[in-house]
Structure 1
């Protein structure tokens, strides 16, 4: 449902379009409804609308009077959003629109991701397409699909579809930054099967829960030292096996590869002789972990609850040892900082999802790097770690980074406009997120690309929020850029 409060914000049409977009469920790989929404929007304006073979939507708009001799620009954002919610939030992403509210200078969602990533970019382009009084050159508005879980939209865009010479990607999250490069990524998946064995007699069962972590974007926020629920759970399991002979019946941690995992839940058994002191003896370790993360994750809770029913089957000890040791050894977080760009994470890994049960173990990672050889070095390090523990490892979804071009002509335009508007220089950066520019550049190598956006915090988590004043700043920036696109 559209939240009417947002429509009172300026710029009114942009927020109206964002609210309308957020009324449409748009999970990655489930974009049918938002594709139809965007095509209907373009057709309602009488513009040329098309959809390619993978589902990307292209809407073309002619130049306004007096700007016909300027270079054609591609305005690009992605339609999908990350679907994450708090454990106690009742919400169906497949049927419900995002429930939004205004909190001071921030627009937030009630217990879910907001979709400002990349919904504000989409809404901005919609506002430009619908405008009748904004000067602009010829526009090709490209709305890609599935950016968040594989970038298959950008990968599937064929050469020759676009004719624009300049691409403005509206998908970064600090309003004082202009991005000229980004990280590539690769999915690393480790899996193995095991033969379940019967729980021994005289066992008692417990549920161990790790919850309340902030989570967040596994690229942009990987350097913050945020807690990873899978790594924290693994510490508890390692200690419990060593001290109590614990065995795992099931384990479910994390959700999406591109989100730092916030929660993990394990059902385990121990001998009845430990029934009364299992939780008590783990209390010092739990206190230490909470102390380690008190600054970045003050909401972290670790609970141990005795269950009334003992699971019938558990993972064998050998397979369990291999699992716990492999996760302990596997790299998580920053692997290498760039020697060429100050404060830029070059290479990292997120142990995003760990599941155990019914004879199957699955570990999903997302490895990122702005250097292709370093990306593969870390991926192969993970491969070696998991294969030593008897796992089968598969690489998939690899996509390239975006090599910075400090001599970009459009960069010079944006830097000048930003300084004129704010009396200070923008930060020209490369980011550790995956932007589509690198992929699009493979088929359009001569296109001059830049990326920028308003301030969005907590992306890929229910703490996601976007600054109202920053969106206003961003909108004024975009409007002036459109006026000053160079001539052909």
Structure 2
């Protein structure tokens, strides 16, 4: 199946992507892909190092005639988001990604594809391996753990890189040149609740919300897609008079809009429950009929009996908190059209055995606005007596419209495509802002091929866009300014 991918053009790019996708590379578990990348560099006879946190740097001298050009850092991250459909049997820790061609798209079989940021990694690998591509001196920087904390970028020490220009290959629209991005902070609330016995007359039910699109919690937040955790809470809130919660699991990753949520509940009156359940189900379906056509909301009797449920007072607090906690766009940028400035994703909710945990990812391109939303969430959770922890804080990347490398890319794009590129900031976390803290003089830009549905099993990469992007990369390398 992956042989079909290897025959796509440009073969140099797609073959390296297939090689990379054969290596399991979940965030926080990058040992195998780090070893893979180090072996790759050493087998080419290039200087290859691993820094203290696991980032891999491979250096390649300039090709003949390009020695007088500024050194370029080509940068992408090694890890990928792991998401799969509920009915897909796949072990990300042991299996390589199974890919297929679908018209102009490369997809995976029921899982994320890893094009984010695997196509960037594959691009750099192809350039390092080639004896024909013209380029200045290159430092290839492969960072780790971008998706769940950016610890690779945070741990990269100043002075290690020698390059003057950084090309980040992690943008997901081929007509876009990225000049800025959002920062982020993880907001985690934990609490406890009293467990009480289930009334003898109660009936156990399983409520499921599934079939949502999900997607990237930064890039896709503007679409107003359904959040499984918020929708589940609406259902529980609407039926709370006859319902007691025993267990709840919704979402999986902070940077992915939650697609599924499952609740185990005890129902004291089936007739009243079904009456309210059908009302709220119908209302939600009507709201999301155009955005979420595959949305499924079900409630079915569960075999067996429940031992414990959440006490009524604690349940009331929990449902109120989940109603009040902000999810989605918080503020649009007043300076850049159609750019989300600040948002929050209620990514993961867990209720079981007397413990509550709510995990959020708050993003913003403005630090004070990010702090404002994080504080608002903290206040809501504190009012319920929950403990709140803020962690993984990372800065945004402020646009520099006078960037010399921006002018190079902007002019090249227009020359090659007959139209101007979309020079924009994005509401996602790129590593440029973090890297810029230790390398403030480095001129940075971001671009990449078109990728849709990142962070979801619907992730797909455009074949024609990859061809357009590849030609753009080669022209950029030829046109790097002189020292």
Which TM class, normalised by the smaller chain length? Answer: over 0.9
User: What is the distance in 1 between the residues matched to 2:420 and 2:359?
Assistant: 40
2:143 aligned residue: 144
1:439 aligned residue: 434
Residues 349 and 359, structure 2, Cα contact 8 Å, conserved in 1: yes
Give the CA RMSD over aligned residues: 0.8
User: What is the distance in 1 between the residues matched to 2:50 and 2:303?
Assistant: 54
User: What is the distance in 2 between the residues matched to 1:79 and 1:289?
Assistant: 38
User: What is the distance in 1 between the residues matched to 2:270 and 2:378?
Assistant: 38
2:307 aligned residue: 312
Residues 26 and 34, structure 1, Cα contact 8 Å, conserved in 2: yes
Deviation beyond 4 Å, 4+ runs, structure 1: none
User: What is the distance in 2 between the residues matched to 1:276 and 1:90?
Assistant: 37
2:73 aligned residue: 74
After superposition, what is the alpha-carbon deviation per residue over 1:133-153, rounded to whole angstroms, capped at 9, x for unaligned?
A: 111000000000000000000
Residues 322 and 390, structure 1, Cα contact 8 Å, conserved in 2: no
- Report the secondary structure of 1:220's partner residue: coil
2:316 aligned residue: 321
User: What is the distance in 1 between the residues matched to 2:303 and 2:414?
Assistant: 65
Residues 84 and 460, structure 1, Cα contact 8 Å, conserved in 2: yes
Greater displacement, 316-325 / 470-479: 316-325
Gapped regions of structure 1 (runs ≥ 5)? none
Residues 72 and 137, structure 2, Cα contact 8 Å, conserved in 1: yes
1:173 aligned residue: 172
1:293 aligned residue: 288
Which residue of 353, 367, 373 maps to 1:358? Answer: 353
Greater displacement, 475-484 / 195-204: 195-204
User: What is the distance in 2 between the residues matched to 1:44 and 1:295?
Assistant: 51
- Report the secondary structure of 2:476's partner residue: helix
1:100 aligned residue: 99
1:87-486 matches, cutoff 5 A:
87-242=86-241, 244=242, 246-271=243-268, 274-276=269-271, 278-486=273-481
User: What is the distance in 1 between the residues matched to 2:437 and 2:381?
Assistant: 32
- Report the secondary structure of 1:216's partner residue: coil
User: What is the distance in 2 between the residues matched to 1:50 and 1:64?
Assistant: 21
User: What is the distance in 2 between the residues matched to 1:11 and 1:289?
Assistant: 45
How far is the alpha carbon of 1:277 from its aligned partner?
Answer: 5.2
Residues 255 and 352, structure 1, Cα contact 8 Å, conserved in 2: yes
How far is the alpha carbon of 1:281 from its aligned partner?
Answer: 3.7
User: What is the distance in 2 between the residues matched to 1:281 and 1:324?
Assistant: 16
How far is the alpha carbon of 1:276 from its aligned partner?
Answer: 4.6
User: What is the distance in 2 between the residues matched to 1:297 and 1:281?
Assistant: 22
- Report the secondary structure of 2:434's partner residue: helix
TM-score (norm 2): 0.99
User: Number of aligned pairs?
Assistant: 483
Residues 238 and 276, structure 2, Cα contact 8 Å, conserved in 1: no
Gapped regions of structure 2 (runs ≥ 5)? none
- Report the secondary structure of 1:89's partner residue: coil
